[in-house]
Amino acid sequence: MYQYFIVVMLTILSTSALGIEQESAQKTYAAPKLIATFSTSNVKPWGYISPNNQEKGLLIDFNNALATAANIKINNHIIPYPRAIKEIENGKTDFAVMFKSPQAQEIGISLGEVTETKILLIALSGTSTIKDLSQLGNQLVGFIRGSKYGDKFDSNTQLKKVALGSMKQGIELLLKGRIAAMASTDITFYAALKEMNISSTKVKPIMTISSMTGHLYFSKASPNTHLIEPLKHALNQLRDNGTLKQIFSKFH
């Protein structure tokens, strides 16, 4: 009887130990969370580094929501817009939100629309509205270097365009009369005005150049094609549950 008891106890202990070992192995060898790299333009309010070294901006909020919905980790790079495009082109990064354009379509695969924005031509208040860019004549028009605002603006060789490093610089030049107008997305321009504590009554849109949509693009040069479906599914989920509208309506 005593020997039988010992055998039973050893069997129970062995089974328990095996169960603990299997559980430990499952925890140790659990599939790692997928990791995606994103490039984000360092133009406020889309993406920027705060004074306390935190990533902030509409696209940062979008990236975080997307990561949660897809259950993946996102490594984000906040860099100048031209460099973000370059990193998508050479596959150094997997994803970026870019305006839908022939260039974007050439280097990336669209997973779907993220947001829509208007491209405005903004001048000082009191300036007459125009119906065609040709009405500007030889006047200088500022724009953010590397930005794409649609064929009507991008391919216009008659415009006297001035490439600028930031929206703040553009607004300052506009208010000083150094440029006649500034081309910009509505979100970028009015967010910059708010940050600079400048009343919107000092300026006015004189023309809507175009409406553009920002899409989530996957780099055609990236080998990480396994990331496409989970992120596409997550994007659709954010659109359906109203998260995209909530994020991007802040400056409309």
Question: Are the beta carbons of 127 and 117 closer than 8 angstroms?
Answer: no
Same domain assignment for residues 219 and 110: yes
Alpha-carbon gap, residue 63 to 42, rounded angstroms:
14
- Per-residue pLDDT in tens (0 to 9) along the chain, 252 residues: 444 434 443 344 344 444 444 444 444 444 557 899 999 988 889 999 999 999 999 999 999 999 999 999 999 999 988 899 999 999 999 999 998 988 899 999 999 999 999 999 999 999 999 999 999 999 999 999 888 888 899 999 999 999 998 899 999 999 999 999 999 999 999 999 999 999 999 999 999 999 989 999 999 999 999 999 999 999 999 999 999 999 998 765
Tell the burial category of 242 from Cβ atoms under 10 Å away from its Cβ (0-12, 13-18, 19+).
Answer: exposed
Number of domains in the chain: 2
Residue 7 lies in a domain: no
Question: Are the beta carbons of 179 and 136 closer than 8 angstroms?
Answer: no
Same domain assignment for residues 98 and 139: no
CATH number, residue 80: 3.40.190.10
Residue 9 lies in a domain: no
Residue 10 lies in a domain: no
Q: What pLDDT, on the 0 to 100 scale, is given for residue 146?
A: 80
Question: Are the beta carbons of 74 and 123 closer than 8 angstroms?
Answer: no
Same domain assignment for residues 59 and 134: no
Same domain assignment for residues 163 and 91: no
CA angle at residue 154 from 149 to 158, to 5 degrees?
135
Same domain assignment for residues 42 and 99: yes
Q: What pLDDT, on the 0 to 100 scale, is given for residue 134?
A: 94
Same domain assignment for residues 174 and 230: no
- Please give, one letter per residue, the 3-state secondary structure of the chain: CHHHHHHHHHHHHHHHHHHHHHHHHHHHCCCCCCEEEEEEECCCCCCEECCCCCEECHHHHHHHHHHHHHCCEEEEEEECHHHHHHHHHHCCCCEEEEECCHHHHHHEEEEEEEEEEEEEEEEECCCCCCCCHHHHCCCEEEEECCCCCCHHHHCCCCCEEEEECCHHHHHHHHHCCCCCEEEEEHHHHHHHHHHCCCCHHHEEEEEEEEEEEEEEEEECCCCCHHHHHHHHHHHHHHHHCCHHHHHHCCCC
Question: Which two tokens mark 20?
Answer: 């603990």
Q: What pLDDT, on the 0 to 100 scale, is given for residue 149?
A: 87
Same domain assignment for residues 92 and 147: no
Question: Which two tokens mark 180?
Answer: 């006649």
pTM: 0.74
* Range(s) of the domain holding residue 105: 35-116+213-248
Q: What pLDDT, on the 0 to 100 scale, is given for residue 245?
A: 94
